[in-house]
Amino acid sequence: MTVSSQKTPDGDKRPICETGVMTDPDLADPFRAPRTSSGVLTADFGGETLPMILGYTAVREAARDWAIYSSDAPFRVPIPSEEAVRTVRQLPIESDPPVHTAFRRLLEPVFHRPRSTDYQQRLDRLIGELLEDAATKAEVEIVRDFALPLQSLALAMLLGMPKDAAEIWISWGTHVFHDGPDSRAKGNVLDHYIRETLTSAAASLGEDVFSFLHAATVDGRALTTDEKVGIANLVFAGGRDTIINAVSRVIAHFADHPEDLSVIATDAARVNLAVEEMVRVISPLTHIGRVCPAPTTAGDVNVPADGRVSLCWASANRDEQVFEAPDEVRLARSPNPHVAFGSGPHTCLGATQARAILRSLIRMLGERTGGIEILSAVRQYEVTPAYRRWVGFEALTVRFTAP
Ligand code: HEM
């Protein structure tokens, strides 16, 4: 869900030392000034101007209030909206209760698979193999040759699909819509793939998620084809750039902060807190939209009927009313009530998978890596006229050294 990306070589962005704390200028919060003054930033996204709700409490309240801030809006929950890149409503994200509740309940067992010990062991094996392979090379490009295969192979595990399927998904690049010049064509590729895979699954039902959708019912009826396609579309789109950016930035963090890698290596109990803190600081999904059925206000800004607002998770996660020294990465931060995975009824269904991947990755970096050296990096920013935010890397080439 990148707005538009701007690439900057990493040379001038390596950590600097200020008042004894290692900081990175790109970790500064672009929403601090508007959040502390009015709580709202009015920003333009591809010709649509809308207010971004910035404060932690206001974001959480809006996320719960689906009558005023609705998700029942096909194509209009992501910002910018996605009419041009898909033909179906994504489910369950583009619906309100009670429709949302029924679809969410249906999908929870699939998304909770990473809770099982067997799943976690398989994920550990996958990440262990990727790290072993990376360690044999003089250099590894993390974004496309590590994070993208990791995301796709882990998704194959989640969806009960064979490893071969992940090869196809890897060929789609780092974003199912926005990795390349023609987002509409990419959207069509995804749509065709989903429809063909649904057809094959119908001919021979198995244990995979497509077969699951054929057998599924909501409110006592089978799903329509559009509903099946809409669920699958979200599964492929939702957890892709978010995971790739999180994985890449975690690896960059431990390269820049070997002292944090040593802590993880000697105290695995720190891993869970480290995952939450990395997700808070990175906030891979900057914000998400809601549509207001009736006129309302966001701070001092009037929102007309059918107007949109943004719930800005990234800003809420830096709210100084809730987080001490919010721009600092404190791996032992606790409590850490971040909203990087959202809040309220739509809280990320893929959070269990995302956490499982990051937990395994951080633990294994501690166990199996002596150090990580960044050889070159091109950072990727989300850029709008109102703000510029570091989200991930266009490319990140590193060398792993043995423990
Ligand atoms: C670090 C990685 C991730 C982040 C930061 C993230 C963030 C979010 C956020 C903020 C929402 C709430 C949207 C809203 O309120 O409208 C959400 C919803 C969702 N995410 Fe994620 N996500 C991540 C990974 C994943 C993965 C890996 C998957 C799937 C494999 C996934 C699938 C979903 C789905 C299905 C929803 C909709 C839930 C609902 O409407 O009830 N996400 N995600």
Query: What pTM was computed for the model?
Result: 0.95
CA distances 290 to 174, 319, 388, Å, are: 25, 21, 22
> What is the C-alpha to C-alpha distance for residues 359 and 343, in angstroms, rounded to an integer?
21
State how beta strands 388-401 and 140-141 pair.
antiparallel
Would the CB of 238 count as within 6 Å of ligand 1?
yes
Percent of the chain with pLDDT over 70: 95
> What atom in ligand 1 is closest to the CA of residue 107?
35
Domains and CATH numbers, the chain: 5-401 (1.10.630.10)
Sheet of 140-141, strand order:
5-9, 371-383, 388-401, 140-141
Q: Choose which residue among 90, 348, 355, 361 to substitute to test ligand 1 binding: the one with the highest number of ligand atoms within 8 A of its C-beta.
A: 348
> What is the C-alpha to C-alpha distance for residues 204 and 383, in angstroms, rounded to an integer?
46
* pLDDT tens digits along 82-112: 998 999 999 999 999 999 999 999 999 999 9
What is the predicted pLDDT for the residue at 19? 40
Q: How many CB atoms lie within 10 A of CB 395?
A: 18
> What is the C-alpha to C-alpha distance for residues 110 and 106, in angstroms, rounded to an integer?
8
* pLDDT tens digits along 36-72: 999 999 999 989 999 999 999 999 999 999 999 999 9
pLDDT band at 10 (very low <50, low <70, confident <90, very high): low
**Mean pLDDT along residues 226-252:** 97
**Mean pLDDT along residues 143-159:** 98
* Strand ranges (E), 106-245: 140-141, 217-218, 221-222
DSSP characters over 154-167: HHHHHHT--HHHHH
Q: How far is the CA of 222 from the centre of ligand 1 (A)?
A: 24
On the question of pLDDT at 15 being above 80, the answer is no
Would the CB of 157 count as within 6 Å of ligand 1?
no
